[in-house]
Amino acid sequence: METGHIHTTIDKGIATLSFFHPASNSLPSVLLTQMTAEFKRLDTLAEVRVVVLKSEGNRAFCAGASFDELLAVTTPEEGDLFFMGFANLINAMRLCSKVIVGAIQGKAVGGGVGLLSACDYCIATEAASVKLSELFIGIGAFVIEPAVTRKIGKAAFCHLTLEASEWHDASWALSHGLYAKTVKDQDALVEAVASMASQLASYHPNALLEMKKVFWEGTEAWDTLLPKRAAISGALVLSDFTKEILSKWKK
């Protein structure tokens, strides 16, 4: 099974971090670990002022957790370890001193919604619908909830997570604060993200750094909160209900 890959380029103060997986840009453990390490590395580079996060291809932005890995989980410890991948990545993005701009070209599901929620600013195409399908498969959006709620509020999170089988279009995401801006298509997205990233890179780097701290004030407890949430998901993924649903979806 191909595990996917990540790739980073740095130009004029802008680091572009892209990721890819053949299964609709889903996120197996290896990609989660690599992306976490890369955000920590970019945090240390003085020449980087802004990070653009994107996925490859012209379809899904991110399908969330890898179903193959979820099906392979046999113990609570293995489940906990897998969901800690999302917890570690979100915390790495939160603690990264660089402003992160998300380029969302297509649909985002589950952990993919959590990933874009951990960005500081997202620009998306009109095709970038979102869905939290975790309850539908017998778990819940426990790990990513703080990041999503921080963007859209508790009420909208409740609607999104309880309507687990429904897509919410890009205009919904825009009106609820998940996206800062939407554009017509991927060509327009590339242009809009490049313009925004260049503008941000022209600002005083210390001002950006201090602003990033302000953006994430009040999230200090996430270092302990997200691991607790990972343990909940890690236990639930072992249920017969979840295993049966995942097997059907895989087929």
Per-residue pLDDT of the chain (251 residues; tens, 9 = 90+): 478 999 999 999 999 999 999 999 999 999 999 999 999 999 999 999 999 999 999 999 999 999 889 989 999 999 999 999 999 999 999 999 999 999 999 999 999 999 999 999 999 999 999 999 999 989 999 999 999 999 999 999 999 999 999 999 999 999 999 999 999 999 999 999 999 999 999 999 999 999 999 999 999 999 999 999 999 999 999 999 998 888 887 66
pLDDT of residue 246: 84
Identify which of 214, 210, 204, 215 has the alpha carbon closest to the alpha carbon of residue 180. 215
pLDDT of residue 251: 66
Distance between CA 81 and CA 72 in Å, rounded? 12
Distance between CA 234 and CA 211 in Å, rounded? 34
CA distance readout (Å), 230 to 66, 85, 213: 15, 9, 25
Strand spans (E) along 21-92: 50-55
With beta carbons less than 8 A apart as the criterion, state whether 186 and 129 touch: no
Residue 171's contacts (CB-CB under 8 Å, 6 or more residues apart) are 126, 182
pLDDT of residue 67: 87
With beta carbons less than 8 A apart as the criterion, state whether 157 and 177 touch: no
With beta carbons less than 8 A apart as the criterion, state whether 151 and 177 touch: yes
Torsion-angle region of 194 (φ positive above 0: left; ψ -120 to 50: alpha; else: beta): alpha
3-state secondary structure of 51: strand
pLDDT of residue 116: 98
Q: Which amino acid is at 83?
A: F
Please calculate the CA angle 77-137-139 and round it to the nearest 5 degrees.
Answer: 45
Domain boundaries along the sequence of the chain: 5-201
CATH superfamily of 5-201: 2-enoyl-CoA Hydratase; Chain A, domain 1 (3.90.226.10)
Look up residue 115 and give its two tokens. Answer: 């990933």
- In b/e form, how buried is each residue of 137-154, taking b as 16+ CB within 10 angstroms? bbbbbbbbbbbbbbbbee
Look up residue 50 and give its two tokens. Answer: 């802004």
